[in-house]
Chain A
Amino acid sequence: MALLGGAATLTLLLSGCTPNSGGGSQGAVSEDDIDKAMTTPTKLTFWTWVPDIDNEVALFEEKYPAIDVTVENVGQGLPHYQKLRSAIEAGEGAPDVAQLEYQYIPSFVLNESLLDLTAYGADDLSDDYVGWAWDQVSPADEVWAIPQDVGPMGNLYREDILTGAGIAEPPATWDEYATAAQTVKDSTGAYISNLGATQAGQMIGFFWQAGAKPFGYDGKETVKIDVNSDKAKEVATYWTDLIQKDLISTDVDFQDQWYQGLASGKYAGWLTAAWGPVFLQGTAESTSGLWRAATLPQWAAGDNVSGNWGGSSDAVLASSKNPIAAYELAKFINNDEESAMKLATEQFLFPPQLSVLEDPAFADQESEFYGGQKVNQLFAEISDTVDTDFQWLPFMDYVYSTYEETMGTVIADKGDLAAALDDWQDQLVKYATDQGFTVE
C-alpha cells in the first residue's frame, strides 16, 4: 500500500508541471485507444442551443453506433453558462460536450473545466479553419474547443433607400458613412442604421475592426484590460457624434421595437455579422429583394479589415468520463464534411471551416432577399480580413453587464461614449483586482 501511495504521489508530482491535468491530457491518444473508445457502448451528453442539431448528431451516431448521444438545450447564452457553472461546481450533472461562445472560453479555462484537446489530435485540425477562428479556440499551445460558427462583420443595407437618397455605392469609409447618414436622414428621414444601446457584442466588433485590443488573458492569473485605449475612444467618439446629431438610432436590439424598425425602413441598414443575413431574412420578410450586403466601412481608405461578432464552438469538459468519444463528437459535428455542410446550409451557421467556405454549394448560393447577391461568398471573403489576435477576459458576463450599466445608459442618453469607456475601464479593473487577478 505504502509503495502504491508513493508511486501515486510521484505521478502527481511529475504531472504537476502541466497545469491542466484533467482527463489524461498528457501523452497523445493512440489510434487504438480511439478505435476502442468508439466501439465501446458509451453514453454522452451534449449541451447546445443550436436548433435541430439532432440531425448532425444522428450522422455521428450512424457512424459510431456504439455511442449514444443525449442532446440537451438548457437555455441560450447566459442561462446556459450559469447552469454549466453550477453543474461544474456541484461536481456532477455536467455534460461531456458543451457549446461555448468564443468569448466565454477563457472563463472556463480559468477554473480548469475544459479538456485540452491537443492530446486527442485537435492540433491537426488547425489548417482546416480560418486563422483567426482557430486562434479563438487556441490562443496558445492548448486547444480548448472546436470552432462551430463565426460572425465576421459586414454591412447590410437597403439599396432602395440609399439610392433614393442619391447614394449609389455603399460607403467605403467611416467618414463616407457619416456623410451618407446625413444624406439619408435629410432626404428620407430614415436612420442609416441602429446602434443597439446595450449591445456590447456589436461595439466590441467595431473595436476589433479598428485594431483595438481591449482584453487579454494569459490563461492563468494575469489579465489585460484596455477598453479605453485611444483606438477604442476614436471609435466611441465617432459614434457619439452620429448619435448626438440624431443620424443613428439607439434602440435596444433584438426587441419588438427593433424588429419593427428593420421591417418598416426606420433603419436603412444594419451593421451586423455573418449570421445576420439569414436572420434578417426571417425578420423583415416583407422587404425581400431590397437589401444588399457589403463590407464594413473602413477607417482608412483602401483598407479592408473587419471584426467579429458572435459565433461559438464546442468544448469537451475536463470532467467527462469518456474524453475520447466526447472529443470525437465535438470534432465530428463541426469538422465532418457532411455535418459541417449541414450546419452551414440548414441551420445557417456561418462556417469557420475553409472547405465549406470554398464549397460552391455554399459560396455560390444566390440570395433572393439580397437581389440575387452571393452573400455567403462576400462574407467568406470578409472572414479572411478579420484580425487574428483578439482575446477575451475570463469574466465576460461581468464585462457585458457593466457595458450595459456604463456605455448602455450613456448611449441611450446620447452622452459622451468616450467618457463612458473610462468608467467601464475603472469598473472592470476594480472587479479584476477584487477577484485576485493581476491587471496589466
Chain B
Amino acid sequence: MTHSPTLTSERTSIPSRERHTSSAVRKQRLAAYLFLLPFFVVFVAMLVVPLVYAGYLSLFESKLIGGEVFAGLANYGRAITDPAFLGGLGRVALFFIVQVPIMLGLALFFALALDSARARGSKAIRMLIYMPYAVPAVVATLMWGYLYGPDFGPIAQIARSVGFGTPDFLSPESILGSMMNIVTWEFVGYNMIIMYAALRSIPAELYEAAEIDGAGQFRLAWSVKIPAIRPAILLTVIFSIIGSFQLFAEPSLLNTIAPDAVSNSFTPNYYAYNLAFINQELNYAAAIAFLLGIVIAVVSYVVQLGEERRERREMRLS
C-alpha cells in the first residue's frame, strides 16, 4: 500500500500511522537493546562462555599421566554412580527440607510482626534482624566456630556450668545442624526484607474490607496478607533452593575448624571445588558442577510448577 501515493488521505493515514508507530517501536526497541547491551556483554563473557567451556571440559578426561582425551559422557556416568556426589546431594536435600521451612517460617513471622506495627521500635528491630546478612559468610562462620568451640566456646561453658555437660556442635553427627543454624541466622533477615517489602505493597483497601468483615490480626495475616505475598514467598523459596544446593562457604570454612567432621564431599559444590583443586580432576569437577546446575533447575522448576498448579486449582474453586 505504501507504494501507491494516489490513495485517499483517509486510507493513507492508517498506514502512515502504522509506519509512524512502527518506527517509534523500532526506536524504542533499539534503545532497549542498547540498554541491555552492557548487561549482555558481561552476561555472555562472564557466564555463557565459561558455562559452555565448562560443558566442553566436562566431556574430556585428563589424567596426570597420559593427558587429555575425549571421554563423551563418561564423567557424567561416573558422577551419577559416585557415592560421594550422591551423598553430598542427599545432605543438601536434607538441609533444604529441614532448614528452609524453619528459616522462611521465622522470616515470615518477623515480617508479619513488623508489618502489623504492633512491635515498638520496629525500625531498629528490622535492622537488627537484617544485620547478620551484612556480615560476610567468612566472618560469620569463624564467629560461630568460636561460639561452638567445645573447651572455650561460651555456649559450652554455660552448658557445663549448669551441668549439661559439653555439647559437641562440631562432631560429624551434629555439624549439619550447626551449619543449618549458621545459615538460618545469616539469611532470616534477608528473606524477611523481601517479604516485608511485599507486605508493604498490599493495598490498604483490602485491610479495610477485612476489618469491616470483622477479621482480627491473625485472620488478616492468614487470609489476606499471606495469600497476597505468595509470589514473594515463592521467590524466597527459589532463592533458598539455589542457596542450599550450592552451599559452599560454610562447609569450606568449618572444614578448617572441624576437618574430621566435614568431609571433602560434604556438599556437591565443595566436592567440585576439591576435585578441581586438590584431586586435579578438573574435567570431572566440571561435570559435577553441571549436574548440580541441572538438579537445581529441576527442583526449582518443580516447586514453581507445583505452586502454579495450586493457584490454578484455587482459581477454579473460587
Q: Please pick, from A85, A255, A405, A413, the residue contacting B256 in the complex, using a CB distance under 8 A.
A: A255
Q: What is the minimal beta-carbon distance from B251 to any residue of chain A, in angstroms?
A: 13
Indicate if B29 sits at the interface (CB-CB under 8 A).
no
Residue-wise interface mask of B (243-263) relative to A, using a CB-CB cutoff of 8 A (1 in contact, 0 not): 000000000000011111101
Assess whether A395 is in contact with B64, with CB atoms less than 8 Å apart.
yes
User: Which residues of chain A have C-beta atoms less than 8 A from B279's C-beta?
Assistant: 397-398, 401, 431
A198 located at the interface, meaning its Cβ lies under 8 Å from any Cβ of chain B in the complex: yes
- Name A397's contact: one of B149, B150, B260, B278 (CB within 8 Å): B278
Residues of A within 8 A of B257 (CB): 252, 255
Residue contact A408 to B151, C-beta cutoff 8 Å: no
Residues in chain B near residue A257, CB distance under 8 A: 149-152
Interface centre among B66, B274, B278 (most CB of A within 10 A): B278
Interface residues of B in 260-280 (CB under 8 A from A): 260-261, 263-264, 274, 277-280
Min CB–CB distance B64 → chain A (angstroms): 4
> Are B65 and A435 in contact, CB atoms less than 8 angstroms apart?
yes
**Chain A residues with CB under 8 A of B258:** 252
Contact indicator per residue, chain A 378-403, by CB within 8 Å of chain B (1) or not (0): 00000000000000001101100100
User: Would A436 and B65 count as touching, CB distance under 8 A?
Assistant: yes
Q: Quick one: closest B residue to A395, CB to CB?
A: B64
> Could you tell me the distance in whole angstroms from the C-beta of A119 to the nearest C-beta in chain B?
26
B185 at the interface (CB under 8 A from A): no
Q: Hey, which chain B residues are within 8 Å of A260, CB to CB?
A: 151-152
Interface of B (DSSP majority class): loop
- B142-166: contact bitstring with A at CB < 8 Å (1 yes, 0 no)? 0000100111100000000000000
Write out the residue numbers on chain B whose beta carbons fall within 8 Å of the beta carbon of A76: none
Contact B65 A437 (CB under 8 A): yes
**B264 cross-chain contacts in A, Cβ below 8 A:** 401, 404-405
Tell yes or no: A429 within 8 A of B by CB: no
Return chain B residues, CB-CB under 8 Å to A111.
64
In the bound assembly, the distance between CA atoms of A35 and B35 in angstroms comes to: 60
> Are B65 and A408 in touch, CB under 8 angstroms?
no
| B310 contacts chain A at the CB level, 8 A cutoff | no
User: Nearest A residue to B265 by beta-carbon distance?
Assistant: A405
- Decide if A163 is an interface residue (CB 8 Å cutoff): no
The yes or no answer to B101 lying at the interface (CB within 8 A) is no
A404 in contact with B256 given A256-B146, A257-B152, A261-B151 (CB within 8 Å): no
* B260 adjacent to A197 (CB under 8 Å): yes
- CB of B63 closer than 8 Å to a CB of A: yes
B293 at the A/B interface (Cβ < 8 Å)?
no
Residues of A contacting B261 in the complex (Cβ-Cβ under 8 angstroms): 412
Question: Given A198-B260, A256-B146, A405-B263, are A436 and B151 neighbors across the interface (CB < 8 Å)?
Answer: no
Expressed in whole angstroms, the Cα–Cα distance for A411 and B172 within the complex equals 12
Q: Which residues of B contact A198 (CB under 8 A)?
A: 259-260
A409, CB-defined interface residue at 8 Å: yes
- The proximity string for B residues 172-201 relative to A, scoring 1 for CB distances below 8 Å and 0 otherwise, is 100000000000000000000000000000
- Could you tell me if B260 and A404 are in contact, using CB atoms closer than 8 angstroms? yes
Q: CA–CA, A413 to B173, complex, Å?
A: 11
- What is the interface of chain A, defined by CB distance below 8 A to chain B? 78, 82, 85, 110-111, 197-198, 221, 252, 255-257, 260-261, 266, 394-395, 397-398, 401, 404-405, 408-409, 411-413, 431, 434-437
Listed A/B pairs (26) with beta-carbon separation below 8 Å = A78-B277, A198-B259, A198-B260, A252-B257, A252-B258, A252-B260, A255-B257, A256-B146, A256-B149, A256-B152, A257-B149, A257-B150, A261-B151, A397-B277, A397-B278, A404-B260, A404-B264, A409-B172, A412-B172, A412-B260, A412-B261, A413-B172, A431-B279, A434-B63, A436-B65, A437-B64
Q: Which residues of B contact A (CB under 8 A)?
A: 63-66, 146, 149-152, 172, 256-261, 263-264, 274, 277-280
Q: Apart from A401-B264, A431-B279, A434-B63, what 5 extra A-B contacts exist at CB < 8 Å?
A: A78-B277, A257-B151, A394-B64, A395-B64, A436-B65
- Closest 9 pairs (CB-CB, A-B): A436-B65, A412-B260, A436-B63, A198-B259, A436-B66, A435-B64, A397-B278, A408-B260, A401-B278
